[in-house]
Structure 1
Amino acid sequence: MIVRTLLDTDLYKFTTSYAYIKQFPYAMGTFCFNDRNETEYTKEFLKTLETEINNLSQLRLTGEELEYMTRNCRFLPRVYWEWLSSFRFEPDKIKFHLDEEHHLHIEVSDFLYKVTLYEVPLLAIISEVKNRFFGNVADMNEILSKLSEKVELSNRNQLRFSEFGTRRRFSIDVQEAVIERLNEMAQYCTGTSNCYFAMKYGMKMMGTHPHEWFMFHGAQFGYKHANYMALENWVNVYDGDLGIALSDTYTSGIFLSNLSRKQAKLFDGVRCDSGNEFEFIDKLIDRYKELGIDATTKTIVFSNALDFTKALQIQEYCKDKIRCSFGIGTNLTNDTGFEPSNIVMKLSRCKMNVNQEWRECIKLSDDKGKHMGSPEEVQACLYELRLSRLITSGDVKVKV
């Protein structure tokens, strides 16, 4: 089995699941898979994928895992982990096939508090199975040698980072080897997003909320109000905990214009996941100044396809201006010499309850080519937000 425990996923999947339970327990959603590289898969790949998907149904939260998560996630109540003990992945809900061009399609629908849990395990499975079928074999000595150079750079420059590499890891074995070495050598590794490895190696679990939380609010309450309402509802659930706000679901410019003084003071900082990091630093600092807030008391977490060299450049730019930290994923868990998978699963539609109609969920990115949604809905969003950017065929990556 590639995924061996329910905890082999990112912390934010559990925090978001609980937020849905608290705020929108009857809401439903569909997650869709997208391979940005448009990889051509085979029928043999599909058979192996099916086996791994069926294996997901065997996963159970153990008593030891329940006790660990209860002790180490004070922001999630024990009742949530007790519910998770009864949760089972349902392979029948995962619809997948190859189209005529051999591109992979996957769709999962369920109540949002459950369906959100499918995303990371499915991506990790696809990435590992793909490497097997393309004959990619990781050279562990080379991986750890390159890792040592990264760790040395981090230690020398006090570069704080977390391991965020579960979803696009080369394999679970590679990720574990990397985390084990980080735990031994990296003085400024602040933790991992993976709950299983955090438990196994005594590391801190890292994470807050994902794009889907904002995408749901945009679909249900309108794009103008999505950022504000998403942050307000997050505070209603977590009361100031998990205070790093994601900034780019409908472009960072819109986020910053929506950011209220109360939210800017309450949240510890923001996460930058697309666009030009240096421009974002300047814009965020300017917004804090407008709101009368000392930017040096706040933090930016950078997480957009980073390597350690770029992270160091960003850290130098932030010096004496604003605190910074880095979530580094693929560069840690899939730096093998083979092209990493560029795959995502995003919320494509939602409804508030079973009696309501489905509404499309979209995402606008600060990176060209990463808009997600149908051209019609993306254009409607751009119009509602009064963004002058024109839509092009290359911008739209998921059609629902």
Structure 2
Amino acid sequence: MTDIATRVYNHAWKIDPIVRSVLDTDFYKLLMAQMIFRRHRDTRVTFGIINRTASVPLAKLIDEGELREHLDHIRSLSLSRGESTWLRGNMFYGTRQMFSPDFIEWLEDFRFPAYHLERRGDQYELTFEGPWIETTMWEIPALAVIMELHSRAVTRGLGKFELQVLYARAMTRLWENVQRLSTLPNLSIADFGTRRRHGFLWQDWCVQAIMEGLGKAFLGTSNCLIAMRREVEAIGTNAHELPMVYAALAPNDRALAEAPYAVLADWQDAYDGNLRVVLPDTYGTEHFFERAPAWVAKWTGVRVDSGDPIEGGELAIAWWKKHGQDPTKKLAIFSDGLDVDLMHKIHRHFHGRIRISYGWGTLLTNDFRGLGPNGGLDPFSIVCKVISANGRPAVKISDNPTKAVGPPEEIERYRRVFHVGTQVATPVLV
């Protein structure tokens, strides 16, 4: 097993580049990329980093030259022959040929496009503009670079023994959390922690710990590279960027109102089975369910990713019942800011009423709360979101207005089109 503390102390760039493979990304990126490759190859999309936790001065902590060095390294990466073979031959979700030969050929030739980096006060402006099929690939590795450079900056002054104690405490905390989760009946859980991980080696260690501690209750990891190396399932479906781009491309309010369902029609044409999981909160879960076509209720499940998880789960149950579906046969994936206490609360409320699964993210792969110097390793909220599509602004509303993205006037327009009523703003930890 890797001695993480020693590797952190003796950072050798060639041994530990932050992103070491095109596959060091989330599985849903590849699934979405294949659909984009099929339908929207000529759409131009800009992504940008948004640090929601302005109190974390990234530009003061992270050296710009070092950041550029790692971003440039990512631009040099390409899919290896072994990685290509894994994608071509592995059975994902029970389907052997998940990815078509022409998409794999494109991925084999893919290189990350140019980026724009500029310091703005104590923060960085980092954006990616170009064909959607290319810029979408930057989201996960860009966030991983920033998060790990932040971790390295905070721990840079620590000695060998300080680092050993730091990681021993973090390991103990994780193992205690795993033991608490093991008491939940019919537990199903996956690692969703790539985007805001403490570091690659730490995420890999967390996956190994859950594999041992939870056994069959551990479904797999969203990280393709770790899934390949550890021989576990690669887990993922889709993300908010799909409805955000489809909505931005809508020529009028009527088309805008239909955009979230147009996404689902295209997704259903591309994938089946357990990949048919609805993400309803981009423009408000309640209105989404009110207008969703009946055929969507036949999908496998729903991912609850913002707002109160109990309310989100209850909305899904009511929607399934309305369309004559049996909720006990439906899947609800909870994935927003999960810690062990929240998972216990959700389980107590829904166990036996629906099939429950958890996508454990930042508080799995970056739970150093109170362990770092002066709280410097506490997780913070940073995202990489769609800014525009074909020059038109992109918007996300969410069930928590704190997570809203887009120009204020466009947010108000979307709120009107999607009949978003009063929302309760809650703090976003991660």
Spell out the pairing of 1:1-400 with structure 2 (5 A cutoff): 1-38=17-54, 39-40=56-57, 41-42=59-60, 45-72=63-90, 73=92, 74-90=97-113, 93-99=114-120, 101-135=121-155, 139-158=166-185, 159-187=187-215, 188-221=217-250, 222-240=255-273, 242-265=275-298, 267-337=299-369, 338-351=377-390, 358-389=391-422
Q: Contact conserved, 1:375 with 1:391, CA < 8 A, in 2?
A: no
Judging changes above 3 Å, is the alpha-carbon distance between structure 1 residues 306 and 174 closer, same or farther for their aligned structure 2 residues? Answer: same
Aligned residues: 384
Give TM-score, length-normalised by structure 2: 0.85
CA contact (8 A) 1:45 1:130 kept: no
RMSD of the TM alignment (CA)? 1.9
Structure 1 segments, 4+ long, off by >4 Å, are: none
**1:333-356 superposed Cα distances (whole Å, 9 cap, x missing partner):** 1011321131100011002xxxxx
Give how far 1:204 is off. 0.4
Any idea what the Cα deviations from partners look like across 1:219-246, whole Å, max 9, x if unmatched? 1234311221110111122245511111
User: Structure 2: which amino acid aligns with 1:316?
Assistant: R
Shift of 1:306: 0.2
Residue identity opposite 1:8 in structure 2: D
Measure, in 1, the Cα distance between the counterparts of 2:357 and 2:274.
18
| Contact 2:400–2:423 (Cα < 8 Å) also in 1 | no
8 Å Cα contact 1:209-1:246 kept in structure 2: yes
Q: Given that residues 120 and 166 in structure 1 are in contact (C-alpha distance below 8 angstroms), is that contact kept between their aligned partners in structure 2?
A: yes
Distance 1:321 1:227 in 2: 27
Deviation at 1:36, TM superposition (A): 0.5
* C-alpha spacing 1:43/1:130, structure 2 compared with 1 (3 Å): closer
TM, length-normalised to structure 1: 0.92
Over the matched positions of the two proteins, sequence identity in percent amounts to 29
Amino acid paired to 2:266: N
Looking at structure 1, the residues matched to 191 and 314 of structure 2 have their Cα atoms a distance apart, in angstroms, of 26
Q: CA deviation at 1:313?
A: 1.3
Q: Deviations over 1:190-240 (max 9, x none)?
A: 110000000010110100011000111111234311221110111122245
Partners of 2:87 and 2:417 lie apart in 1 by 42
Seen in structure 2, the aligned counterparts of structure 1 residues 390 and 320 have a Cα distance that, compared at 3 Å, is: closer
Amino acid at match of 2:261: Y
Supply the AA of the counterpart residue of 2:335: S
In structure 1, the gaps of 5 or more residues are 352-357, 396-400
